[in-house]
Amino acid sequence: MSATANRELAAQAAASVRHPLTLTLLTLTFTTGLIDATSYLGLGHVFTANMTGNVVLLGFGIAGTPGLPVISPIVSMVSFLVGAGLGGFLGTKIERLHPVHLGVALIIEVLLVAAAGAVAAILPIHANRLSGDVIVALLAFAMGVRNATVRRVAVPDLTTTVLTLTMTGLAADARLVGNSGTGTLRRVAAISAMLIGAVAGALLVKSSLTLPLAAAAALALVTAVGYGRWQRGLQPRPEPARRDPQPPQPG
C-alpha cells in the first residue's frame, strides 16, 4: 500500500467509527484497559502500555515513595522499547502491505499476551519479583510492537494506549469553545473503550491474572482475523480466463 493510499485509509477510518479499521483500533484500546489493569493492580503498580505513567511512577519510586517499585517500571520501559524497535523494523519491511503489517503485529501481540497469561496460570506470581517482571516484560514488548505499528497506521486520536492528546482534542475542538466539534464521536469512543476495558480488567483481575490476559489475547486474535478478512474482501478478484471458441471439427 502506497503512502497516499495509507493516508486515504486513515482519513476514511477517522471519518466513521463504523469503519473496520476504526473498530479494530477501538477494540485494541479496550484491551489496553484490560492489560494495564492487570499489570498495575496485579503486578505491583507498573504499567505495560502507558509509558508516560511508568516514567512518573519510576520517578516516585526513585524518590522512595512507599509501595512504588523501581525495577519493574524499568523492565517495562526497556521491553516496550525493544518491542517498538521490532514494530518499526516490520514497518520498514512490509509497510506497503498494510493488512499484512498490521496482521503480523497483532499475531505477535496475541502470542505474547497469551504467553503472559499462560505463565500467570502455571506459576505462582509475585509482584515486583522475577515472576511478575517476566509477565511485565512480555506485555510491554507486545504493547511496543503494537504502538509502533499503530503509529504508522496514523488514524487521528486512535493510538490505542494513551489518551492525553485525544482528550485535549476533544476539549480544544469542541463546539462549546467555538470550534467545529469534528472528531468528537471518535474521541469519546476511544476514551470510553479504554475506560470500559479498565473497569473490566479491574473486575477480572480480582479472580485471577489469567482471565483479563486471556480476554485481551482472544480479542486481539478476533480483531486480526476480522480485519484481515475485510481487507481481503477489498482485493479485486481476477476475472476467469476466457476460452477462445473451438472451431467446428470436420465430420
Over range 1-27, report the average pLDDT: 85
pLDDT band at 242 (very low <50, low <70, confident <90, very high): low
Question: Do the domain assignments include residue 170?
Answer: yes
Residue among 3, 7, 1, 4 at smallest CA distance from 154: 7
The per-residue b/e assignment along 210-240, b for 16 or more CB within 10 angstroms, e otherwise, is: bbbbbbbbebbbebbeebbeebeeeeeeeee
pLDDT value for 185: 95
pLDDT band at 221 (very low <50, low <70, confident <90, very high): very high
Residue 107 burial (CB < 10 Å; 0-12/13-18/19+)?
middle
pLDDT in tens, 34-61: 999 999 999 999 999 999 999 999 999 9
Question: Do the domain assignments include residue 238?
Answer: no
Instruction: Name the percent of the chain lying above pLDDT 70.
Output: 90
Q: How many domains does the chain have?
A: 1
Question: Do the domain assignments include residue 182?
Answer: yes
Question: Do the domain assignments include residue 244?
Answer: no
Can you give the residue range of the structural domain that contains 189? 3-228
Write the CATH number for 120: 1.20.1250
Question: Do the domain assignments include residue 167?
Answer: yes
Question: Do the domain assignments include residue 155?
Answer: yes
Over range 12-40, report the average pLDDT: 94
Question: Do the domain assignments include residue 158?
Answer: yes
Q: pLDDT at residue 197 above 60?
A: yes
Question: Do the domain assignments include residue 243?
Answer: no
Residue 204 burial (CB < 10 Å; 0-12/13-18/19+)?
buried
